[in-house]
Structure 1
Amino acid sequence: MEIGVGGRMMSELIDEVSFVMNPKCTFNYTQINSTTIKYFPSCPAVYGILVINLATDLLIGQLRTAFINMKKLFGGIRIENTKWNTLNMFSTSNFKFYCDYYGFYAINNSQLSDATFLKEMNSQTSEALNVITRGPREAVIQDNNPKLFQDGVPCKISQTYGPSGSRDYRTRLNITGEDCGDRVEVKLPSGSNIPSIYLLFILTSVFYITDL
């Protein structure tokens, strides 16, 4: 899991412009199921709010196939009340999730005990999945199977900086577990010129994002 703050890259701005020019990349259904998945765009950048819950009558493999071309998701996602033991449905190769307005939630998934996907996000050699949010928007993982975090490694927050000349600011939360508590707040350093855009790698029980 990584948390970072920095200005938007040109490719991200291009994606947003492309969305305006290509509405075919919008997923217009909030519920993911065997009917609506047929309309999921095959674009590299998809716009929509994805809700995955008990009404999602699909297997993880089917979702992974549907999402295979998606490298960026702009919107929101809510994974709630499922009986799945894993969330390995997204590509772990440079996948970016932008939750500027609708947040990221994985809540009350009682069988969710496989943290492989989260650990892959946590890889220090790969920026596998970025979750970007502004201001008070939330990225939350809570009330899942308690075995989801069982490494026994205490929370460790440290800061690293990108290449020389980069305006990138990062805070890395390497590994977390139940001892991390219920709430973590990340704030920009006092006097910072860095925009309040947050890149989150989530591997914690509850995670909230706030401005100064």
Structure 2
Amino acid sequence: MIFWYNFLSLLIPLTTSEETFEFFKSRCDSKCTLQPYHIDSESISLFPIDCSSVCAYILIDQNSDLTENQLKNYFRNMRTLYGSVKIKDTNFPSLNFLSRLETIECVPVQLIGIINNPNLANATFPKLKKIQSDNKFLMIFQGNHPVLLKDPNFCKSIKKQLNSTEWHAPSVDGKSCEEIEDAQSSNNQIGVLLVVMITMILLVF
């Protein structure tokens, strides 16, 4: 887990300013480009709220002094994001503020990182249809609410949205969807076996 956290902590920004400038320039008008990547009550005023396609690094963390509803209001018209998203060390229970996002095209080597949000039990992106990145991991969930690791349907729904054949995309606490499903299946089998054993013991006595 420490490895993943340190790895993900370095993801923004990894590309050079020149690479980022060229990437943004080729995809967005300057009025739809956000320069500061840390989102807080001061920088959010610069967010291009009227743009459906936005070029930005979006970093939301424990110092982002904004509520879910405030973020949702600013992001309400954003359908396509060119850049990356990193949400870490927050107390948000969901990602509803990104519920209208449909497409994400990542800056080279970037991915989507949802990290160390202990209350985050609902991490779905209901309208997301595509993530494009040259990083094979695409999307990583690490250290969030334990329910995300226990629910294979969550992982499979994200994988379907990613339209990826990579076994590790997405990754939830270092596990692939297949590994999560296998673990759940094993737990179910153990549960059934325990019920059978308890029933047999009760019948004997």
Unaligned runs of 5+ in 2: 1-23, 177-205
Quickly say closer, same or farther: Cα 1:75–1:156, change in 2 above 3 A.
Answer: closer
Contact 1:100 1:133 in 2 (8 A): yes
Deviation at 1:17, TM superposition (A): 4.5
Give the TM-score normalised by the residue count of structure 2. Answer: 0.60
Which of 36, 47, 57 does residue 49 from structure 1 map onto? 57
Change (3 A) 1:129 1:59: farther
1:147 aligns to 2:174 (yes or no): no
Following superposition, the deviation at residue 29 of structure 1 comes to 0.8
| In 1, Cα distance between equivalents of 2:77 and 2:34 | 14
* 1:27 equivalenced with 2:34 (yes/no): yes
TM-superposed deviation, 1:31: 0.7
Partner Cα distance (2:155, 2:139) in 1: 18
Partner of 1:59: 67
SS at match of 1:89: helix
- For 1:109, which of 117, 135, 144 is the aligned residue? 117
> In the alignment, which residue of structure 2 is the partner of 1:97?
104
Report the AA paired with residue 140 of structure 2: V
5+ residue gaps, structure 1: 1-14, 122-127, 161-169, 174-183, 187-201
1:149 Cα shift?
Answer: 4.2
Could you report, residue by residue, the CA deviation over 1:70-99 in whole angstroms, capped at 9, with x for unpaired residues?
11000111100001111111134x611111
Maintained 8 Å contact 1:113/1:148 = yes
RMSD: 3.4
Q: C-alpha offsets along residues 167-211 of structure 1, whole Å, 9 cap, x if unaligned?
A: xxx4579xxxxxxxxxx446xxxxxxxxxxxxxxx5744479xxx
Tell me which of the two structures has the higher relative contact order, counting C-alpha pairs closer than 8 angstroms and 6 or more residues apart: 1
State the AA in 2 paired with 1:87: L
TM-score by length of 1: 0.58
Q: Which has the higher strand share?
A: 1
Q: Specify the code of the residue in structure 1 equivalent to 2:93.
A: N
Letter in 1 for 2:97: M
Report how many residues are paired.
149
Provide the rounded CA distance (Å) in 2 between the counterparts of 1:87 and 1:203.
17
Runs of 4+ in structure 1 deviating by more than 3 angstroms, as ranges, are: 15-18, 135-138, 149-157, 170-173, 202-208
Asked if structure 1 preserves the Cα contact closer than 8 Å seen for 2:155 and 2:172, the reply is no
User: Which structure's residues are more often helix, by fraction?
Assistant: 2
Paired residue for 2:80, among 53, 72, 81?
72
